[in-house]
Structure 1
Amino acid sequence: MFVLTVIISVLTAAAFAFAGYSKVSGAEQQVAEADHLGVEWSAYRLIGVAELLGALGLLIGLWLSWLGVVAAFCLIGRIGGALIVHAKAGDQVDAMRPAIAYGVLAIVAFVFRLITA
């Protein structure tokens, strides 16, 4: 079971690290997304920092299990916020699919972290 937890944690960390890096680095698509959602760019970059820290927490959590649980839980909260912002922007489910996919990853990581903690 722990091997599966490692795989899920690494995949989830990689996904959130990629998303976070694209926000922090100012990728054109991310700038457009922030504008579409009505989120100030500096705040949107901070979301990227949170994603990077969550990814790091998942990886360090492989040695400090409590940190993996906390990181996964925080990433779930981050995605919950994203879904709320998308809904306020009037997005339909199709536009929310990436956030939903990241949310599923975070939930699965959280469950596996709890099981193996």
Structure 2
Amino acid sequence: MGIIAIVLQSLMIFAFFFSGVGKITGAKMQVDTFRHLGLPQWFRVATGFIALAGVVGLIIGFWNEGVLALAALWLACIMLGAVLFHIRSRDPIGKMIPAAMLMILTLVLASLHFSAMTDLF
């Protein structure tokens, strides 16, 4: 299970890094998505920085499993928000699937390291 967790952690780092950078730099897809969801563009940038904070936590997680679990929960909350905004916009399920899958994968990652997170407190 250790290898699977490291692979999943690495995939989440790449996914959220590129997504966060795309939001901050104003990639057309991100700008259009936030416009479609009825969200202001400053929120797109803020969400990008929030995602990159989660990426930093995932990277620190290679050395500290508790931080990894917290960062994964942090990113899962962002993805829950994305799913809810897609629902509010009455998007088809196909548009929600990427956010929902990232939410599920980060929750799996957090659950794999949940006992380490409880040790932080």
Q: Which residue of 2 aligns with 1:5?
A: 5
Instruction: Decide which moves more: 78-87 or 105-114.
Output: 105-114
User: SS state of the match for residue 45, structure 1?
Assistant: helix
Task: Give the alignment's TM-score, normalised by structure 1.
Answer: 0.91
Mapped partners of 1:91, 1:3: distance in 2: 36
1:23-34 correspondence to structure 2 within 5 Å: 23-34=23-34
Between the aligned partners of 1:52 and 1:21, the Cα distance in structure 2 is 8
Q: Deviations over 1:50-77 (max 9, x none)?
A: 1111111011012122111110011111
Please state how far the C-alpha of 1:83 moved relative to its aligned partner: 0.9
User: What is the alpha-carbon distance in structure 2 between the residues aligned to residue 112 and residue 9 of structure 1?
Assistant: 11
- Aligned equivalents of 1:21, 1:109: Cα separation in 2: 22
**Aligned-residue identity in percent:** 30
| Runs of 4 or more consecutive aligned structure 1 residues displaced over 3 Å after TM superposition | none
Q: Which residue of 2 aligns with 1:45?
A: 45
Identify unmatched segments of 5+ residues in structure 1: none
| Structure 2 CA distance for aligned equivalents of residues 107 and 56 of structure 1 | 17
SS in 2 for 1:39: coil
* C-alpha distance in 2 between matches for 1:53 and 1:33: 21
Map of 1:71 onto structure 2: 71
Offset, 1:104: 2.0
Separation of aligned partners in 2, 1:113 and 1:15: 20
Aligned partners of 1:17 and 1:111: how far apart in 2? 21
Q: Letter of the aligned partner of 2:5 in structure 1? A: T
Equivalent residue for 2:57? 57
Structure 1 residue 114 displacement after superposition:
2.1
- Asked if the contact 1:12–1:109 (Cα under 8 Å) also holds between the matched residues in 2, the reply is no
Any gaps of 5 or more consecutive residues in structure 2? 117-121
SS at match of 1:49: helix
